Amino acid sequence: MNRYELLLRDRCAIDPRIMVLTAENRGHMRSVPPLLGDRFVDVGIAEQTMIGMAAGLAARGRVVVVHALAAFLTLRAFEFIRDDVAIPNLPVIMVGMVPGVLSDGNGPTHQAIDDVGLMRAMPNVGVFCPADEEEYVEGMAELFDNPRPCYVRYIGSQAAYRREHRTTLQRGIVLSDDRECCPDVALLTYGAMVPHVLEAVQQLEQTGVSVRVVHLPMIDPLDETVIIEALHDAAVTVVVEDHLIRSGLYSVVCEIAIRHRIHASLHPIGLSTWFAAGRLPQVLRMNGLDGASIAHRVTEILNDEATIQRTSNGESHAS
Amino acid sequence: MYDRNVCEAHALRVREHILAMSTDGGCFTGASLSCADLLVYLYTSYLNVRPDNLSDPDRDILLLSKGHDVPALYGTFAELGILEPGRLANHLDCNDHIYWHPNRAVPGVEFHSGSLGHLLSVGMGMALSIHLEQRQSRVVVILGDGELNEGSIWEACQVAHSLHLDNLLAIVDRNWFQANMPTEELSPLEPLDEKFRAFGWNVLRVDGHDFDALHSVLPDLPLRNGAPTVLIADTMRGKGVPSIEARADRWFCNFSHDEVRQLTEELHGTSSATLVSPTLTVR
């Protein structure tokens, strides 16, 4: 059994409220159905009905976790999530599978690259984007402890970073900081991008660039403090996400910068449109989201920034 | 406890309430009048719901999925003491919770609606939970016939059958109209019985304005035979008020106070002149 299956087994054993639903998406929890008996329900390929049922179960006092492909969960069932979960604020935890770049060879219909923006736009619904299986399971445990509507980008991968503290859904995590109070660049990221950003950091640091990496597992509610610190401290801030730049974390950080009147050099690395489908390493490379591409783009941004600085200094000397 | 005279007296009052809400902003008058008798029967003679047990886990559940007929529900609640009758005068007042669709903040409303095609699946979740709780409560979902245009209804029908939800009863308010036109002209539903039957449901059909007929079938529903049940209740849009009955253009109505007075006289049979008002709002 994987760690998520163990979590579901253990939580269902101690909390009779929990129900596990899926829209025929059970690859990551194949051993769960016989363990949970009638508290596991597979509705078939019926995302809208699943969300409506989850709301009905939650209205009876249950805590419901539902699973479906992220694209179909957030898009096909969008209005059901809004009307039946978000408006009445019912404790339904919605796990979206193969989000972001993880949809492999499925093509654009299966690419949930707008899911974070869609779910964040909805009042009452949290957005949780863990970086690896451990963080996913720890976050899910916290959601079971304190049930509320939340969209979760599923990830089952091995540890993306060395953990110093248990993940909580309250805080952004500073993964890398060369202890300078003013790094050359702050990289803000989440979810599946974390290992690639960390790979980029290694390359950047070899060229003498100082970097702060902030992983934001919770996009909503967001740890704004850690973002504001990064915007203030770093010469340049870059948001890296496997999501559409419009409506993703980059948009959120722009909102924060404007709201707090922070004049920042703020840049996106993300997706502009649906990506050509293929194997993950090639998808990352072709979309500038692998470690080397991120490092390259950040270097370009820093060079541009330096040029601008030189130009503006030159202008000020001239005047 | 079924008493036809009691039902008829309540239904008349509920229709008065509906007409009273058909002014100063208006409401979905035609759709409300068609299901008034159904709701009166269900709340007086079928559901174990009373003002003093609205949070009892053993109570039956009624969900109004075709939410725009909520004046009939609130009128029924007011008659039966579930809702303080004075609150009906707050219709469309932002300071109260009474608007054109059911609101969970109003006593007796089990789940809000408005967007069509939602509450069959919500009701299924409740029915599943009630089954797991080993309670005998029934879940009744009132569907509009126009609402059956929504694909989510048929998706839910498929799942309800697969889950053997035999504590679930869907009732179709078959008033033969959707917003702007007869159902059979826009997207024909008949043979509706056969459609539900093909999805594995138990199907019954009844005159939705005949209390005795309702009482002859409903006490045995839903059939507890491992499949969900649907009761198709044939009704008439605008039932009880000839100026509104079976007219495509009397779905959403916002009448003047004088017109409401005249329509109320029509309802009581003291005025036979039909209203030719052009003050109709068709959405």
Sequential pLDDT tens for chain B (283 residues): 899 999 999 999 999 999 999 999 999 999 999 999 999 999 999 999 999 999 999 999 999 999 999 999 999 999 999 999 999 999 999 999 999 999 999 999 999 999 999 999 999 999 999 999 999 999 999 999 999 999 999 999 999 999 999 999 999 999 999 998 999 999 999 999 999 999 999 999 999 999 999 999 999 999 999 999 999 999 999 999 999 999 888 888 999 999 999 999 999 998 777 776 655 554 4
Residues in Cβ contact with B263 at an 8 Å cutoff, skipping those fewer than 6 apart? B19, B22, B241, B243, B244, B255, B275
Residues in Cβ contact with A254 at an 8 Å cutoff, skipping those fewer than 6 apart? A266
The residue type of A17 is R
* Strand A126-128 to A218-220 pairing: antiparallel
Nearest CA in chain A to B154: A49
User: A28: which 2 tokens?
Assistant: 């990551």
Check if A299 contacts B (Cβ < 8 Å): no
Q: Are B156 and A34 in contact (CB under 8 A)?
A: no
Nearest CA in chain B to A82: B115
What phi, psi does A308 have (nearest 5°)? Answer: -60, -45
Instruction: Report how far residue B81's alpha carbon sits from residue B189's, in angstroms, rounded to the nearest whole number.
Output: 37
pLDDT in tens, A206-242: 999 999 999 999 999 999 999 999 999 999 999 999 9
User: A39: which 2 tokens?
Assistant: 């508290």
Q: Which one of A53, A60, A87 has the shortest CB-CB distance to B121? A: A53
User: A300: which 2 tokens?
Assistant: 């370009």
Nearest CA in chain A to B103: A88
Give the whole-number percent of chain A exceeding pLDDT 90. Answer: 89
- Chain B hits for A20, CB-CB cut-off 8 Å, are none
Contact A48 B128 (CB under 8 A): no
ipTM of the complex: 0.95
Check if A57 contacts B (Cβ < 8 Å): yes
Contact B130 A60 (CB under 8 A): yes
Instruction: Report how far residue A71's alpha carbon sits from residue A101's, in angstroms, rounded to the nearest whole number.
Output: 12
Nearest CA in chain A to B151: A48
Omega before A33 cis (within 30°)?
A: no
Contact A46 B158 (CB under 8 A): yes
Check if B128 contacts A (Cβ < 8 Å): yes
Mean pLDDT confidence for A11-30: 96
Check if A114 contacts B (Cβ < 8 Å): no
The residue type of B185 is E
Per-residue confidence at A308, pLDDT binned at 50, 70, 90?
confident
Contact B126 A60 (CB under 8 A): yes
Instruction: Report how far residue A294's alpha carbon sits from residue A51's, in angstroms, rounded to the nearest whole number.
Output: 37
Instruction: Report how far residue B86's alpha carbon sits from residue A115's, in angstroms, rounded to the nearest whole number.
Output: 45
Nearest CA in chain A to B131: A38
What is the CB-side half-sphere exposure of residue A108 using CA atoms within 13 A? 7
Nearest CA to A121 out of A225, A220, A227 is that of: A220
What is the number of H-type helices and E-type strands within chain A? 12, 12
Contact A60 B129 (CB under 8 A): yes
Contact B104 A88 (CB under 8 A): yes
User: A238: which 2 tokens?
Assistant: 């870059």
- Sorted by where each starts, the structural domains of chain A and their CATH numbers stand as 3-153 (3.40.50.970), 173-314 (3.40.50.920)
Check if A41 contacts B (Cβ < 8 Å): yes
pLDDT at A33 over 60: yes
Helices (H), ranges, B26-133: 29-34, 36-41, 70-80, 119-132
**Triad A250, A256, A261: Cα angle to 5°:** 125
* Strand A266-271 to A218-220 pairing: unpaired
- Chain B hits for A88, CB-CB cut-off 8 Å, are 104, 111-112
Per-residue confidence at A164, pLDDT binned at 50, 70, 90?
confident
Contact B152 A60 (CB under 8 A): no
Check if A257 contacts B (Cβ < 8 Å): no
CB contacts < 8 A, A to B, total 92
User: B215: which 2 tokens?
Assistant: 């009482």
Distance from CA of A183 to the nearest CA of B (A): 51
Q: What DSSP state is assigned to residue A84?
A: I
* Strand B202-207 to B252-253 pairing: unpaired
- Chain A hits for B133, CB-CB cut-off 8 Å, are 60
Check if B127 contacts A (Cβ < 8 Å): yes
Check if B58 contacts A (Cβ < 8 Å): no
The answer as to CATH 3.40.50.970 being correct for domain B4-281 is yes
Q: What is the pLDDT of residue A313?
A: 80
Residues in Cβ contact with B176 at an 8 Å cutoff, skipping those fewer than 6 apart? B145, B182, B183, B184, B234, B236, B237, B246
Nearest CA in chain B to A39: B132
Contact A59 B111 (CB under 8 A): yes
Check if A63 contacts B (Cβ < 8 Å): no
Instruction: Report how far residue B137's alpha carbon sits from residue B134's, in angstroms, rounded to the nearest whole number.
Output: 9
Per-residue confidence at A92, pLDDT binned at 50, 70, 90?
very high
- Chain B hits for A38, CB-CB cut-off 8 Å, are 132
**In the block, which residue shows the tokens 């009581």?**
B268
Q: In B, residues 169-208, which contact A (CB 8 Å cutoff)?
A: none
**Exposed / middle / buried, residue A146 (Cβ in 10 Å: 0-12, 13-18, 19+):** exposed
Check if A302 contacts B (Cβ < 8 Å): no
